[in-house]
Amino acid sequence: MNSSPSTSRNISQWPQQKRPREKLLSQGAAALSDAELLAIFLGCGSRGQTAVDLGRHLLNICGGLRQLLGRTVPLPPTRGLGQAKRCRLYAVLELARRCTADEFKREATLRSPADTAQFLRGRLASYPYEVFACVFLDARNRVIAFEELFRGTIDGTSVHPREVVRACLRHNAAAVILAHNHPSGVAEPSESDRLVTAELRQILGLIGVRVLDHFVVGADTHVSLAQRGLI
Which domain CATH number covers 186?
A: 3.40.140.10
User: What domain range is 15 assigned to?
Assistant: 11-99
pLDDT in tens, 68-102: 876 766 788 888 888 888 888 888 888 877 776 66
Q: Are 152 and 196 in contact (CB under 8 A)?
A: no
Q: Do 68 and 117 sit in the same domain of this protein?
A: no
Q: Which residue among 99, 117, 147 closes a domain? A: 99
Q: What does the alpha-carbon distance between residue 28 and residue 18 come to, in Å, rounded to a whole number? A: 13
pTM (predicted TM-score) = 0.61
**Percent helix, percent strand, percent coil in the chain, to nearest 5:** 45, 15, 40
Q: Do 165 and 193 sit in the same domain of this protein?
A: yes
Q: What is the pLDDT along the chain (231 residues), one digit of tens a residue?
A: 444 454 456 788 888 888 898 998 888 888 889 999 888 888 888 888 899 999 999 998 888 887 787 676 678 888 888 888 888 888 888 887 777 666 655 554 566 777 788 888 877 877 888 999 999 999 988 888 899 999 886 666 788 999 999 999 999 999 999 999 998 888 899 999 999 999 999 999 999 999 999 999 987 789 999 999 988
Examine residue 31 and state whether it is found in any structural domain, yes or no: yes
pLDDT in tens, 97-121: 777 666 655 554 566 777 788 888 8
Q: Do 217 and 132 sit in the same domain of this protein?
A: yes
As a whole number of angstroms, the longest Cα–Cα distance in the chain is 77
